[in-house]
Amino acid sequence: MGELQVEKHVKYILAVEKRKDNFESVVMEHLRLNGAYWGLTTLDILGKLDAVDQDEVISWVMQCQHEDGGFGGNIGHDPHMLYTLSAIQVLALFDKLHVLDVDKVSSYIAGLQNEDGSFPGDMWGEVDTRFSYIAICSLALLRQLNKIDVGKAVKYIVSCKNVDGGFGCTPGAESHAGQIFCCVGALAITGSLHHVDKDLLGWWLCERQVKSGGLNGRPEKLPDVCYSWWVLSSLIMIDRVHWIDKEKLAKFILDCQDTENGGISDRPDDAVDVFHTYFGVAGLSLLEYSGLKPIDPAYALPVSVVNKVILPCRP
Protein backbone atom coordinates (compact mmCIF):
# COMPACT_ATOMS: atom_id res chain seq x y z
CA MET A 1 0.00 0.00 0.00
CA GLY A 2 1.30 3.46 -0.90
CA GLU A 3 1.59 6.36 1.52
CA LEU A 4 -0.49 9.52 1.68
CA GLN A 5 1.39 12.30 -0.14
CA VAL A 6 0.62 14.98 2.42
CA GLU A 7 2.94 17.75 1.24
CA LYS A 8 1.98 17.31 -2.40
CA HIS A 9 -1.74 17.44 -1.55
CA VAL A 10 -1.19 20.63 0.46
CA LYS A 11 0.69 22.20 -2.46
CA TYR A 12 -2.10 21.14 -4.88
CA ILE A 13 -4.87 22.62 -2.72
CA LEU A 14 -3.05 25.92 -2.21
CA ALA A 15 -2.49 26.17 -5.98
CA VAL A 16 -6.19 25.49 -6.70
CA GLU A 17 -7.25 28.20 -4.26
CA LYS A 18 -4.96 30.78 -5.92
CA ARG A 19 -5.77 30.04 -9.57
CA LYS A 20 -8.61 32.10 -11.01
CA ASP A 21 -8.32 31.72 -14.79
CA ASN A 22 -7.84 28.02 -15.58
CA PHE A 23 -10.65 25.65 -16.63
CA GLU A 24 -11.17 24.16 -13.18
CA SER A 25 -11.55 27.60 -11.60
CA VAL A 26 -13.94 28.86 -14.27
CA VAL A 27 -16.32 25.89 -14.05
CA MET A 28 -16.25 26.10 -10.25
CA GLU A 29 -16.85 29.83 -10.01
CA HIS A 30 -20.50 29.45 -9.00
CA LEU A 31 -19.65 27.05 -6.15
CA ARG A 32 -16.31 28.43 -5.04
CA LEU A 33 -17.48 28.55 -1.42
CA ASN A 34 -18.04 24.78 -1.52
CA GLY A 35 -14.55 24.43 -2.99
CA ALA A 36 -13.12 26.52 -0.17
CA TYR A 37 -14.77 24.22 2.38
CA TRP A 38 -13.40 21.10 0.65
CA GLY A 39 -9.88 22.48 0.37
CA LEU A 40 -9.64 24.12 3.79
CA THR A 41 -11.11 21.13 5.63
CA THR A 42 -8.58 18.90 3.87
CA LEU A 43 -5.78 21.18 5.03
CA ASP A 44 -7.09 21.06 8.59
CA ILE A 45 -7.33 17.25 8.59
CA LEU A 46 -3.73 17.21 7.34
CA GLY A 47 -2.73 19.64 10.11
CA LYS A 48 -1.82 22.37 7.60
CA LEU A 49 -4.60 24.97 7.95
CA ASP A 50 -2.05 27.60 8.97
CA ALA A 51 -0.77 27.55 5.38
CA VAL A 52 -3.57 29.95 4.38
CA ASP A 53 -4.27 33.58 5.31
CA GLN A 54 -7.37 33.20 7.47
CA ASP A 55 -8.17 36.93 7.45
CA GLU A 56 -8.23 36.95 3.66
CA VAL A 57 -10.46 33.86 3.58
CA ILE A 58 -12.92 35.19 6.17
CA SER A 59 -13.17 38.55 4.42
CA TRP A 60 -14.01 36.82 1.14
CA VAL A 61 -16.56 34.49 2.77
CA MET A 62 -18.41 37.41 4.33
CA GLN A 63 -18.55 39.18 0.95
CA CYS A 64 -20.59 36.19 -0.30
CA GLN A 65 -23.37 36.90 2.20
CA HIS A 66 -26.67 38.48 1.17
CA GLU A 67 -28.92 40.86 3.07
CA ASP A 68 -31.35 38.02 3.83
CA GLY A 69 -28.62 36.17 5.74
CA GLY A 70 -27.91 33.45 3.14
CA PHE A 71 -24.63 32.96 1.30
CA GLY A 72 -23.95 32.60 -2.42
CA GLY A 73 -21.34 30.30 -3.92
CA ASN A 74 -19.19 33.32 -4.75
CA ILE A 75 -19.38 37.10 -4.58
CA GLY A 76 -22.42 38.28 -6.53
CA HIS A 77 -24.06 34.85 -6.76
CA ASP A 78 -27.53 34.03 -5.44
CA PRO A 79 -27.92 32.72 -1.89
CA HIS A 80 -28.52 29.00 -1.38
CA MET A 81 -28.46 26.60 1.55
CA LEU A 82 -25.55 24.65 0.03
CA TYR A 83 -23.22 27.63 0.24
CA THR A 84 -24.62 28.85 3.54
CA LEU A 85 -23.54 25.62 5.24
CA SER A 86 -20.10 25.83 3.61
CA ALA A 87 -19.71 29.39 4.91
CA ILE A 88 -20.62 28.27 8.44
CA GLN A 89 -18.22 25.33 8.22
CA VAL A 90 -15.33 27.46 6.95
CA LEU A 91 -15.85 30.00 9.72
CA ALA A 92 -16.03 27.15 12.26
CA LEU A 93 -12.67 25.83 11.02
CA PHE A 94 -11.09 29.16 11.97
CA ASP A 95 -13.14 29.48 15.20
CA LYS A 96 -14.72 32.65 13.78
CA LEU A 97 -18.46 31.96 13.97
CA HIS A 98 -18.77 35.09 16.11
CA VAL A 99 -18.36 37.27 12.99
CA LEU A 100 -21.81 36.06 11.85
CA ASP A 101 -25.13 37.67 12.68
CA VAL A 102 -26.37 34.30 13.93
CA ASP A 103 -29.98 35.39 14.19
CA LYS A 104 -30.01 36.60 10.57
CA VAL A 105 -28.39 33.46 9.16
CA SER A 106 -30.52 31.07 11.22
CA SER A 107 -33.69 32.97 10.29
CA TYR A 108 -32.81 32.63 6.60
CA ILE A 109 -32.49 28.86 6.99
CA ALA A 110 -35.53 28.41 9.23
CA GLY A 111 -37.65 30.53 6.92
CA LEU A 112 -37.22 27.96 4.17
CA GLN A 113 -38.92 25.09 6.06
CA ASN A 114 -42.12 23.85 4.43
CA GLU A 115 -45.29 22.87 6.27
CA ASP A 116 -44.50 19.14 5.79
CA GLY A 117 -41.09 19.60 7.46
CA SER A 118 -39.05 19.49 4.25
CA PHE A 119 -36.65 22.18 3.03
CA PRO A 120 -35.99 23.70 -0.39
CA GLY A 121 -32.46 24.81 -1.15
CA ASP A 122 -33.49 28.38 -1.88
CA MET A 123 -36.45 30.60 -2.76
CA TRP A 124 -37.12 28.65 -5.97
CA GLY A 125 -38.44 25.68 -4.06
CA GLU A 126 -36.54 22.51 -5.08
CA VAL A 127 -37.02 20.04 -2.20
CA ASP A 128 -34.37 17.43 -1.43
CA THR A 129 -33.24 15.61 1.72
CA ARG A 130 -29.81 17.17 1.12
CA PHE A 131 -31.36 20.43 2.19
CA SER A 132 -32.93 18.85 5.27
CA TYR A 133 -29.44 17.79 6.35
CA ILE A 134 -27.97 21.18 5.51
CA ALA A 135 -30.61 23.02 7.53
CA ILE A 136 -30.20 20.76 10.55
CA CYS A 137 -26.39 20.72 10.42
CA SER A 138 -26.16 24.51 9.95
CA LEU A 139 -28.57 25.30 12.76
CA ALA A 140 -26.91 22.80 15.10
CA LEU A 141 -23.51 24.45 14.49
CA LEU A 142 -25.14 27.82 15.23
CA ARG A 143 -27.00 26.35 18.24
CA GLN A 144 -30.29 27.45 16.73
CA LEU A 145 -32.15 24.16 16.11
CA ASN A 146 -35.05 25.52 18.15
CA LYS A 147 -35.88 27.84 15.23
CA ILE A 148 -37.32 24.97 13.16
CA ASP A 149 -39.90 22.27 13.79
CA VAL A 150 -37.40 19.43 14.33
CA GLY A 151 -40.16 16.85 14.76
CA LYS A 152 -41.61 17.65 11.34
CA ALA A 153 -38.15 17.72 9.77
CA VAL A 154 -37.42 14.25 11.13
CA LYS A 155 -40.84 12.95 10.05
CA TYR A 156 -40.20 14.14 6.48
CA ILE A 157 -36.77 12.46 6.37
CA VAL A 158 -38.26 9.20 7.65
CA SER A 159 -40.91 9.41 4.90
CA CYS A 160 -38.03 9.15 2.39
CA LYS A 161 -36.93 5.76 3.77
CA ASN A 162 -37.18 2.83 1.34
CA VAL A 163 -37.84 -0.89 1.72
CA ASP A 164 -34.12 -1.60 1.23
CA GLY A 165 -33.32 0.47 4.34
CA GLY A 166 -31.87 3.36 2.36
CA PHE A 167 -33.12 6.89 1.73
CA GLY A 168 -33.86 8.94 -1.38
CA CYS A 169 -34.04 12.64 -2.16
CA THR A 170 -37.86 12.69 -1.82
CA PRO A 171 -40.47 10.09 -0.77
CA GLY A 172 -40.35 7.13 -3.17
CA ALA A 173 -37.06 8.16 -4.79
CA GLU A 174 -34.26 5.63 -5.29
CA SER A 175 -31.86 4.94 -2.43
CA HIS A 176 -28.49 6.60 -2.99
CA ALA A 177 -25.42 6.69 -0.75
CA GLY A 178 -25.20 10.49 -0.85
CA GLN A 179 -28.82 10.87 0.24
CA ILE A 180 -28.33 8.20 2.89
CA PHE A 181 -25.49 10.21 4.41
CA CYS A 182 -27.69 13.31 4.47
CA CYS A 183 -30.61 11.50 6.10
CA VAL A 184 -28.57 9.49 8.58
CA GLY A 185 -26.48 12.56 9.43
CA ALA A 186 -29.57 14.65 10.08
CA LEU A 187 -31.11 11.88 12.19
CA ALA A 188 -27.84 11.50 14.14
CA ILE A 189 -27.63 15.23 14.89
CA THR A 190 -31.25 15.31 16.09
CA GLY A 191 -30.89 12.13 18.19
CA SER A 192 -33.31 10.24 15.93
CA LEU A 193 -31.27 7.24 14.73
CA HIS A 194 -33.87 4.89 16.22
CA HIS A 195 -35.80 5.45 12.97
CA VAL A 196 -33.06 3.65 11.01
CA ASP A 197 -33.09 -0.12 10.47
CA LYS A 198 -29.36 -0.39 11.08
CA ASP A 199 -28.89 -3.98 9.95
CA LEU A 200 -30.90 -3.54 6.76
CA LEU A 201 -29.22 -0.24 5.88
CA GLY A 202 -25.82 -1.57 6.94
CA TRP A 203 -26.21 -4.47 4.52
CA TRP A 204 -27.17 -2.14 1.65
CA LEU A 205 -24.16 0.08 2.42
CA CYS A 206 -21.59 -2.71 2.78
CA GLU A 207 -22.78 -4.10 -0.56
CA ARG A 208 -21.40 -0.91 -2.12
CA GLN A 209 -17.84 -2.23 -1.78
CA VAL A 210 -16.51 -3.69 -5.05
CA LYS A 211 -13.55 -5.98 -5.81
CA SER A 212 -11.06 -3.09 -6.02
CA GLY A 213 -11.94 -2.13 -2.44
CA GLY A 214 -13.63 1.10 -3.53
CA LEU A 215 -17.24 2.00 -2.83
CA ASN A 216 -20.00 2.94 -5.24
CA GLY A 217 -23.15 4.97 -4.61
CA ARG A 218 -25.75 2.60 -6.05
CA PRO A 219 -25.85 -1.01 -7.28
CA GLU A 220 -24.03 -1.72 -10.56
CA LYS A 221 -22.12 1.58 -10.55
CA LEU A 222 -18.36 2.14 -10.68
CA PRO A 223 -16.48 2.85 -7.45
CA ASP A 224 -15.70 6.48 -6.69
CA VAL A 225 -13.47 7.96 -3.98
CA CYS A 226 -16.21 10.36 -2.84
CA TYR A 227 -18.24 7.39 -1.57
CA SER A 228 -15.38 6.69 0.81
CA TRP A 229 -17.08 9.51 2.70
CA TRP A 230 -20.80 9.08 1.99
CA VAL A 231 -20.87 5.31 2.65
CA LEU A 232 -18.20 5.11 5.35
CA SER A 233 -19.57 7.96 7.49
CA SER A 234 -23.04 6.41 7.33
CA LEU A 235 -21.70 3.00 8.39
CA ILE A 236 -19.89 4.62 11.32
CA MET A 237 -23.01 6.49 12.46
CA ILE A 238 -25.03 3.25 12.52
CA ASP A 239 -22.13 1.24 14.00
CA ARG A 240 -21.73 -1.16 11.06
CA VAL A 241 -18.35 -0.05 9.68
CA HIS A 242 -16.83 -3.44 10.57
CA TRP A 243 -18.94 -4.95 7.75
CA ILE A 244 -16.53 -3.69 5.04
CA ASP A 245 -12.86 -4.35 4.30
CA LYS A 246 -11.28 -1.14 5.56
CA GLU A 247 -7.76 -2.02 4.45
CA LYS A 248 -8.85 -2.57 0.85
CA LEU A 249 -10.74 0.73 0.89
CA ALA A 250 -7.69 2.60 2.18
CA LYS A 251 -5.59 1.08 -0.60
CA PHE A 252 -8.17 2.14 -3.22
CA ILE A 253 -8.09 5.75 -1.97
CA LEU A 254 -4.29 5.86 -1.92
CA ASP A 255 -4.17 4.40 -5.44
CA CYS A 256 -6.23 7.39 -6.65
CA GLN A 257 -3.51 9.89 -5.70
CA ASP A 258 -1.49 11.87 -8.21
CA THR A 259 1.85 11.05 -6.61
CA GLU A 260 3.71 13.61 -8.73
CA ASN A 261 1.56 16.75 -8.50
CA GLY A 262 -0.79 16.02 -5.60
CA GLY A 263 -4.55 15.69 -5.47
CA ILE A 264 -6.87 12.69 -5.50
CA SER A 265 -9.16 11.54 -8.33
CA ASP A 266 -12.42 9.57 -8.43
CA ARG A 267 -10.65 6.43 -9.68
CA PRO A 268 -7.00 5.48 -10.31
CA ASP A 269 -5.34 7.39 -13.18
CA ASP A 270 -8.20 9.88 -13.65
CA ALA A 271 -7.78 13.67 -13.35
CA VAL A 272 -7.66 14.97 -9.77
CA ASP A 273 -9.90 17.68 -8.30
CA VAL A 274 -10.38 19.32 -4.92
CA PHE A 275 -13.75 17.59 -4.36
CA HIS A 276 -12.28 14.08 -4.50
CA THR A 277 -9.13 15.20 -2.69
CA TYR A 278 -11.26 16.25 0.27
CA PHE A 279 -13.43 13.14 0.33
CA GLY A 280 -10.41 10.88 -0.10
CA VAL A 281 -8.55 12.44 2.82
CA ALA A 282 -11.75 12.56 4.89
CA GLY A 283 -12.32 8.87 4.15
CA LEU A 284 -8.79 8.04 5.31
CA SER A 285 -9.45 10.04 8.47
CA LEU A 286 -12.56 7.94 9.13
CA LEU A 287 -10.35 4.88 8.59
CA GLU A 288 -8.03 6.25 11.30
CA TYR A 289 -5.10 6.65 8.92
CA SER A 290 -1.95 7.61 10.81
CA GLY A 291 -1.21 11.33 11.17
CA LEU A 292 -4.65 12.63 10.22
CA LYS A 293 -6.98 14.54 12.51
CA PRO A 294 -10.20 12.62 13.25
CA ILE A 295 -13.28 13.92 11.42
CA ASP A 296 -16.83 13.88 12.75
CA PRO A 297 -19.00 11.62 10.55
CA ALA A 298 -22.18 13.69 11.02
CA TYR A 299 -20.89 17.27 10.83
CA ALA A 300 -18.12 16.63 8.24
CA LEU A 301 -15.69 18.77 10.24
CA PRO A 302 -12.68 17.81 12.37
CA VAL A 303 -13.78 16.49 15.76
CA SER A 304 -11.74 19.23 17.47
CA VAL A 305 -13.74 21.89 15.60
CA VAL A 306 -17.10 20.29 16.41
CA ASN A 307 -16.19 20.01 20.09
CA LYS A 308 -15.35 23.71 20.24
CA VAL A 309 -18.60 24.71 18.57
CA ILE A 310 -21.06 22.25 20.09
CA LEU A 311 -19.81 21.85 23.65
CA PRO A 312 -21.44 24.53 25.85
CA CYS A 313 -18.27 25.33 27.78
CA ARG A 314 -14.91 25.79 26.21
CA PRO A 315 -11.84 24.46 28.04
Residue 20 has pLDDT above 70, yes or no: no
Residue 191 has pLDDT above 50, yes or no: yes
Question: What global pTM score does this model have?
Answer: 0.95
For residues 239-254, give the mean pLDDT. Answer: 98
Percentage of the chain modeled with pLDDT above 90: 92
Q: Supply φ then ψ for residue 145, to 5 degrees.
A: -60, -25
- Domain positions in the chain are 6-313
Q: Would you state the pLDDT for residue 18?
A: 73
Q: Supply φ then ψ for residue 151, to 5 degrees.
A: -60, -45
Per DSSP, what are the bridge partners of residue 161? 167
Integer Cα distance of 169 and 200 in angstroms: 19
Q: pLDDT band for position 30 (50/70/90)?
A: confident
Q: Would you state the pLDDT for residue 313?
A: 44
Averaged pLDDT of the chain: 95
Q: Would you state the pLDDT for residue 1?
A: 63
For residues 13-41, give the mean pLDDT. Answer: 80
Q: Are 38 and 277 in contact (CB under 8 A)?
A: yes
Q: Would you state the pLDDT for residue 161?
A: 98
Burial class (CB in 10 A: 0-12, 13-18, 19+), 253: buried
Integer Cα distance of 12 and 261 in angstroms: 7
Integer Cα distance of 311 and 305 in angstroms: 10
Residue 26 has pLDDT above 60, yes or no: no
Integer Cα distance of 3 and 284 in angstroms: 11
Q: Would you state the pLDDT for residue 31?
A: 82
Q: Would you state the pLDDT for residue 114?
A: 98
Q: Supply φ then ψ for residue 84, to 5 degrees.
A: -65, -45
Q: Would you state the pLDDT for residue 311?
A: 75
CATH architecture of 6-313: Alpha/alpha barrel (1.50)
Q: Would you state the pLDDT for residue 310?
A: 87
Residue 21 has pLDDT above 80, yes or no: no
Q: Would you state the pLDDT for residue 24?
A: 60
